[in-house]
Structure 1
Amino acid sequence: MTPQEIEALFTRESGEFLFARWGRPIAPIVFGVEDETLSVVKGAFEALAALSGHKLAETDAELGSNCMVFFFRDWAELPQVPGLDGLLPGLADLVARLEAEGANQYRVFRFDAEGAIKAAFVFLRMDKALSRLPAEELALAQVAQVFLLWSEGAFRDRSPLAVAGDTIILRPEVAGLIRAGYDPVLPSVARDPAHALRLFARMEPAL
């Protein structure tokens, strides 16, 4: 992966370069799945935490749970979730737009005063396409996409996952980039495209 390719992964559709990682431990909670799938999603968080060196927590002092993952069948279910409209102002308009687009997934981030990630909301409408995916594959891909603030189109044309034998893994360059992004020497937030060079210099093949 070249510095230019890394830069593109964090360049917004507006043309702005913006890198951000979590500035606090991630305290995830999952809604709408059975215990078997719940353990798979938690396993994905644990795997990414081990890869990045970033901590997980049972609770967040400010928000309780700061990374919420919702599985559901219809976008119309979201406004019925108690308190969700308070966490996400404009939820009704967002749901209407996602329904009109036929979207099956959406992620929303919240940031602290410095611009580091402090909360994330992952919405997965389990249509035929998502329902066909093995739980391990779906969970790993989604968790990888909330560990850093990727650009809107970072994985639009290519999944962050790869196949190694019979196992689904993160693509080595994606894993290496996540690990580099959490180097404690680097800032949690960067708006200068030169940050891509710093990430490039720290990338190693993932084990």
Structure 2
Amino acid sequence: MLTSDDIAPLFTRADGSYLFARWGRPIAPIVFGVTEATLPVIKGAMEAVVAMAGHQMAETDPELGSNCMFFFFRDWDELTEVPDLDKLVPDLAPLVTRLKAAEANQYRVFRFDDQGAIKAAFVFLRMDKELGAQPAADLALGQVVQVMLLWSEQAFAEVSPLAIAGGRTVLRPEIGAVIRAGYDPVMPAVAQDPSHALRLAARVGMAQ
């Protein structure tokens, strides 16, 4: 069973601070740069994880239209050519420069409401050999999981949130349990005190 010592690192930043946030509104996703055949795969992954969390999806967000945007592309410079993206993602050009220098193949940007809950997420995926080798369903599931909560930047650096079971790629049960606990209605949408990990562990234990 997961303990608070297992959970706390998932939301502990590089500077040692603890920060948890979940979506504070229904998720209205949109996907750019994939084939028509791939769209249902990504939508299906989103629907499955959101349903598991007990959260909601929507066709549109009243403020932003779409509030969870997935961009698939071959080169980081393509982002600077997307109309008005620089209005949604501040300092887009310097960000692209840094990601190119780091040879990164993925990056996520979050925006928050007045309470600190997630109100928008932007997922950028440069389809290099590594990402291109992944089955679309596996890639979609992994990316959806990583936008459901404001995980630590190091949360999945060593161990993927996914696992193989019965020849299929699935969400690791313990990560699914943390997501469900995080979306429990009795839990806060935002937390900065490490004691929050104790409450998550308690919810996980109750569910098991």
TM more than 0.5: yes
Larger displacement relative to structure 2 (197-206 or 25-34): 197-206
Name the structure 2 match of 1:128. Answer: 129
Cα distance, 1:19 vs. partner?
0.5
Name the structure 2 match of 1:27. Answer: 28
Residues 108 and 122, structure 1, Cα contact 8 Å, conserved in 2: yes
Q: What RMSD over aligned residues (CA atoms) do the two structures have, in Å?
A: 1.3
Cα distance between partner residues in 2 of 1:32 and 1:112: 28
Letter in 1 for 2:169: I
Letter in 2 for 1:164: A
Letter in 2 for 1:156: A
Question: Aligned residues: percent identity?
Answer: 67
**Matches for 1:107-146 after TM superposition, within 5 Å:** 107-146=108-147
Name the structure 2 match of 1:203. Answer: 204
The SS at the match of 1:192 is coil
Name the structure 2 match of 1:3. Answer: 4
Q: For the structure 1 residues 141 and 204, does the alpha-carbon distance in structure 2 shift closer, same or farther, using more than 3 Å as the test?
A: farther
Cα distance between partner residues in 1 of 2:36 and 2:95: 29
Name the structure 1 match of 2:97. Answer: 96
Letter in 2 for 1:14: D
Q: TM-score, normalising length from structure 1?
A: 0.98
**C-alpha distance after superposition, 1:108-157 (max 9, x if no partner):** 00000000000000000000000000001000000000000000000011
Name the structure 1 match of 2:41. Answer: 40
**Matches for 1:150-189 after TM superposition, within 5 Å:** 150-189=151-190
Q: TM-score, normalising length from structure 2?
A: 0.97
Cα distance between partner residues in 1 of 2:101 and 2:191: 34
Cα distance between partner residues in 2 of 1:112 and 1:89: 16
Moved over 3 A (4+): 204-207
Ranges in structure 2 where 5+ consecutive residues have no aligned partner: none
Cα distance between partner residues in 1 of 2:13 and 2:115: 19
Cα distance between partner residues in 1 of 2:205 and 2:17: 26
